[in-house]
Amino acid sequence: DTAVSQTPKYLVTQMGNDKSIKCEQNLGHDTMYWYKQDSKKFLKIMFSYNNKELIINETVPNRFSPKSPDKAHLNLHINSLELGDSAVYFCASSQGALQPQHFGDGTRLSIL
Protein backbone atom coordinates (compact mmCIF):
# COMPACT_ATOMS: atom_id res chain seq x y z
CA ASP A 1 0.00 0.00 0.00
CA THR A 2 2.97 2.30 -0.70
CA ALA A 3 1.72 5.78 -1.58
CA VAL A 4 4.46 6.85 -3.99
CA SER A 5 6.60 4.08 -5.39
CA GLN A 6 9.50 4.42 -7.76
CA THR A 7 11.60 1.78 -9.47
CA PRO A 8 14.34 0.84 -9.54
CA LYS A 9 15.75 1.74 -6.13
CA TYR A 10 19.31 1.51 -7.42
CA LEU A 11 20.56 2.05 -10.95
CA VAL A 12 24.21 1.59 -11.87
CA THR A 13 25.11 2.16 -15.47
CA GLN A 14 27.80 3.45 -17.77
CA MET A 15 28.23 6.90 -19.23
CA GLY A 16 26.41 7.34 -22.51
CA ASN A 17 23.63 4.85 -21.76
CA ASP A 18 19.91 5.63 -21.73
CA LYS A 19 17.84 4.70 -18.70
CA SER A 20 14.34 5.17 -17.28
CA ILE A 21 12.96 5.53 -13.78
CA LYS A 22 9.30 4.79 -13.14
CA CYS A 23 7.00 6.40 -10.59
CA GLU A 24 3.47 5.60 -9.56
CA GLN A 25 1.24 7.14 -6.90
CA ASN A 26 -1.95 5.64 -5.51
CA LEU A 27 -3.05 8.73 -3.60
CA GLY A 28 -5.32 10.07 -6.33
CA HIS A 29 -3.21 13.23 -6.54
CA ASP A 30 -3.34 15.49 -9.59
CA THR A 31 0.23 16.79 -9.45
CA MET A 32 3.49 14.84 -9.69
CA TYR A 33 7.11 15.94 -9.51
CA TRP A 34 10.68 14.84 -10.10
CA TYR A 35 13.45 16.12 -7.84
CA LYS A 36 17.21 15.60 -7.91
CA GLN A 37 19.15 15.35 -4.63
CA ASP A 38 22.91 15.74 -4.88
CA SER A 39 25.62 14.35 -2.62
CA LYS A 40 25.29 17.37 -0.33
CA LYS A 41 21.59 16.59 0.19
CA PHE A 42 20.50 19.63 -1.78
CA LEU A 43 17.03 18.93 -3.21
CA LYS A 44 16.06 20.65 -6.45
CA ILE A 45 12.90 20.37 -8.48
CA MET A 46 13.27 19.21 -12.07
CA PHE A 47 9.73 18.82 -13.40
CA SER A 48 6.14 19.10 -12.33
CA TYR A 49 3.09 17.65 -14.08
CA ASN A 50 -0.53 18.40 -13.37
CA ASN A 51 -3.06 15.97 -14.80
CA LYS A 52 -0.54 14.69 -17.35
CA GLU A 53 0.49 18.18 -18.46
CA LEU A 54 3.93 19.68 -17.89
CA ILE A 55 3.72 22.79 -15.71
CA ILE A 56 7.29 23.22 -14.40
CA ASN A 57 10.54 22.51 -16.22
CA GLU A 58 13.43 23.89 -14.25
CA THR A 59 16.24 24.36 -16.77
CA VAL A 60 16.90 20.66 -16.95
CA PRO A 61 18.98 19.45 -19.93
CA ASN A 62 16.77 18.08 -22.68
CA ARG A 63 18.46 14.69 -22.19
CA PHE A 64 15.88 14.35 -19.41
CA SER A 65 12.38 13.68 -20.68
CA PRO A 66 9.46 13.10 -18.33
CA LYS A 67 6.45 11.16 -19.57
CA SER A 68 3.07 10.97 -17.88
CA PRO A 69 0.86 8.26 -19.43
CA ASP A 70 -1.85 9.01 -16.86
CA LYS A 71 -2.12 11.14 -13.77
CA ALA A 72 -0.97 8.32 -11.49
CA HIS A 73 2.33 7.82 -13.32
CA LEU A 74 5.27 10.06 -14.09
CA ASN A 75 8.30 8.36 -15.58
CA LEU A 76 11.70 9.90 -16.19
CA HIS A 77 13.81 8.93 -19.17
CA ILE A 78 17.42 10.03 -19.36
CA ASN A 79 19.45 9.87 -22.56
CA SER A 80 23.23 9.84 -22.91
CA LEU A 81 23.94 9.66 -19.20
CA GLU A 82 26.80 11.79 -17.89
CA LEU A 83 28.88 11.53 -14.73
CA GLY A 84 27.15 14.61 -13.30
CA ASP A 85 23.80 12.81 -13.46
CA SER A 86 24.84 10.69 -10.50
CA ALA A 87 22.40 11.58 -7.71
CA VAL A 88 19.29 10.37 -5.95
CA TYR A 89 16.13 11.10 -7.91
CA PHE A 90 12.86 11.48 -6.04
CA CYS A 91 9.35 11.34 -7.35
CA ALA A 92 6.62 13.12 -5.38
CA SER A 93 2.93 13.87 -5.67
CA SER A 94 0.48 16.33 -4.16
CA GLN A 95 -3.19 17.17 -4.41
CA GLY A 96 -2.40 20.66 -5.63
CA ALA A 97 0.39 23.17 -6.06
CA LEU A 98 0.68 24.41 -2.47
CA GLN A 99 -0.20 21.21 -0.67
CA PRO A 100 2.11 18.74 1.12
CA GLN A 101 4.09 16.67 -1.32
CA HIS A 102 4.47 12.96 -0.68
CA PHE A 103 7.81 11.53 -1.74
CA GLY A 104 8.92 8.13 -2.91
CA ASP A 105 12.02 6.54 -1.41
CA GLY A 106 14.27 7.61 -4.25
CA THR A 107 16.31 6.04 -7.04
CA ARG A 108 20.06 6.18 -6.52
CA LEU A 109 21.65 6.60 -9.94
CA SER A 110 25.37 5.92 -10.21
CA ILE A 111 27.22 6.54 -13.46
CA LEU A 112 30.45 4.64 -13.98
Residues 4-43 that bind another protein (CB under 8 A): 4, 40-43
Please, which residues have CB within 8 angstroms of residue 98's CB and are 6 or more apart in sequence?
none
Tell the smallest beta-carbon distance from residue 18 to another protein (Å): 25
- Closer residue to another protein in complex, CB, 33/111: 33
What is the C-alpha separation between 62 and 32, in angstroms, rounded?
19
For residue 97, give the nearest of 33, 26, 27, 6 by alpha carbon.
Answer: 33
- Closer residue to another protein in complex, CB, 14/41: 41
Residue 102, interface with another protein (CB under 8 A)?
A: yes
Tell the smallest beta-carbon distance from residue 58 to another protein (Å): 8
The 8 Å CB, 24+ separation contacts for 45-54 are 46/76, 47/74, 47/76, 49/74, 50/97
The one among 23, 92, 109, 111 contacting another protein by CB under 8 A = 92
- Closer residue to another protein in complex, CB, 9/16: 9
